[in-house]
Amino acid sequence: MTEFLLQLDQVSAGYVQRGKSQQVIVKPFTEGVPAGKLVCLIGPNGAGKSTLLRTIAGMQAPLSGRVLLDGQDIYQMNPADRAKRLSVVLTQKMEVGLFTGYSLVAMGRHPYTAWSGQLREQDHQVVRQAIRMVGAENLADRAFSTMSDGERQKIMIARALAQEPDMLILDEPTAFLDLPRRVECMVLLRNLAHQMGRTILLSTHDLDLALRCADHIWLLPYSGHMRVGLPEDLVLNGAFEAAFHSANVAFDIETGAFKTQSVGHERIALEGEGIQYTWVRHALEREGYAVLSKRAAGIPIIRLGVHGTDTWQLTIGTETCHGETIDALMTALVQGRVPAL
């Protein structure tokens, strides 16, 4: 076994047009991923994430270079061998209504069953274990058609696990999920990588989750020139912000969150601390104020906790008022003629 389970050697990805001209979407890049790592592939819409994942999974030929899994060229592997080493979970919704959760997960065993397709007791054990790993025991006997999107996603991940692959490739596994389910799904995949030694490559638009969970980020901007690194390095070197730059949205390097970008905003000072400070600041910035942490001459000031916990005091010029809810504060700001924008 080589140092890297997955190796990309000058791989470029894209499409060959009818007249045989190539449309290179992902420019040649070389990278290695050791076993047991979670890699998140991120990038704006249409940058080429799905194209690259299909190329790495051997579903389309690279335009140049080679993709190696444990030293073997994935595109050259026969499909049965590939299915034992690599499983792929794509986003398209499957129409397999009459199947139960269990029978769908059991399909993951096909690469291992003889021509009859009969599952042996050890196959059933693997299926049950895969269902347990994703916490889908309650879905085993349910018809797939009756499941929610999040429940279906769990079953599809269990099916991929039942293949007992060295590597899983997932295209947007957190799409269609609500926020708690997104976090659960990402934590599950991270645990599978770290505790079970699987190598996991997934694409996602959940940038915040990717920054928090990924061992490595593959950042694919529109230019097609892949940037690879630790999440924190890509934030600090500006690659992250540059890839997602937009006129209306800005990446806040302090908090690691995206914020709506406002122009011509009014400055306001905010003094306080704790969770109340965080959410008052959130409301002010949402309304387009530039929030200063120190008071300055001629600038309205909000002080938190002066009249007891959960209170605010607003001073505009010589006028002062106070209250409790953030709603009341925002109203007072408008009445005090401190327009945000």
Ligand X SMILES: Nc1ncnc2c1ncn2[C@@H]1O[C@H](COP(=O)(O)OP(=O)(O)OP(=O)(O)O)[C@@H](O)[C@H]1O
Task: Please report how close the Cβ of residue 252 comes to ligand X at its closest, in angstroms.
Answer: 22
User: 275-289 b/e with 16+ CB inside 10 Å = b?
Assistant: ebbeebbeebbebbb
Q: Of the ranges 46-54, 237-245, 251-259, 317-325, which one interacts with ligand X (CB under 6 A)? A: 46-54
Listed ranges 45-53, 82-90, 146-154, 181-189: which one lies at the site for ligand X (CB under 6 A): 45-53
Site string for ligand X, 2-41 (x = CB under 6 A): -------------x---------x----------------
DSSP 8-state assignment for residue 206? -
Candidate list 5, 29, 33, 43; residue touching ligand X; CB under 6 A: 43
Which conformational region is residue 124 in: left (phi greater than 0), alpha (psi within -120 to 50 degrees), or beta? alpha
CB count within 10 Å of CB 316 equals 18
Who contacts 158 (Cβ-Cβ below 8 Å, separation ≥6)? 101, 105, 108, 130, 131, 133, 134, 136
Q: How many residues bind ligand X (CB under 6 A)?
A: 10
Residue of the chain from 33, 47, 193, 316 that contacts ligand X (CB under 6 A): 47
| Closest to ligand X by CB, 49 or 227 | 49
Q: Applying CB under 6 A, which of residues 2, 30, 34, 46 lies at the interface with ligand X?
A: 46
Under the binding rule (CB under 6 A), the answer on residue 48 touching ligand X is: yes
Q: What are the backbone angles phi and psi of residue 84, rounded to the nearest 5°?
A: -80, -20
Q: Which is nearer to ligand X, 50 or 311 (CB)?
A: 50
Q: Which stretch binds ligand X (CB under 6 A): 3-11, 43-51, 207-215, 283-291?
A: 43-51
Q: At closest approach, how far in Å is the CB of 220 from ligand X? A: 7
Does 62 contact ligand X by CB under 6 A? no
Taking Cα atoms as reference points, which of 111, 156, 119, 108 lies closest to residue 136? 156
Among 27, 37, 49, 82, binds ligand X (CB under 6 A): 49
| Binding window for ligand X (CB under 6 A); candidates: 49-57, 133-141, 183-191, 240-248 | 49-57
| Minimum gap (Å) between residue 304 Cβ and ligand X | 40
SS (H, E, C) 91-142: CCCCCCCCCEHHHHHHHCCHHHCCCCCCCCHHHHHHHHHHHHHCCCHHHCCC
Residue 12 identity (one-letter amino acid):
S
The dihedral built from the CA positions of residue 133, 138, 143 and 149, taken in this order, carries a sign that is negative
Q: How far is the CB of 154 from ligand X (least distance, A)?
A: 22
Q: In the beta sheet, which residues pair with residue 284?
A: none
**Which residue lies nearer to ligand X by CB, 43 or 108?**
43
SS3 of 227, please? strand
CB of 205 to ligand X, least distance (A): 6
Structure tokens belonging to residue 289: 């104020």
Rounded-to-integer distance, Cα 264 and Cα 341, Å: 6
Residue in 31, 50, 72, 295 binding ligand X, rule: CB under 6 A: 50
SS3 7: strand
Least distance between ligand X and beta carbon 127 (Å): 31
Residue 175 binds ligand X (CB under 6 A): no
What are the residues binding ligand X (CB under 6 A)? 15, 25, 43, 45-51
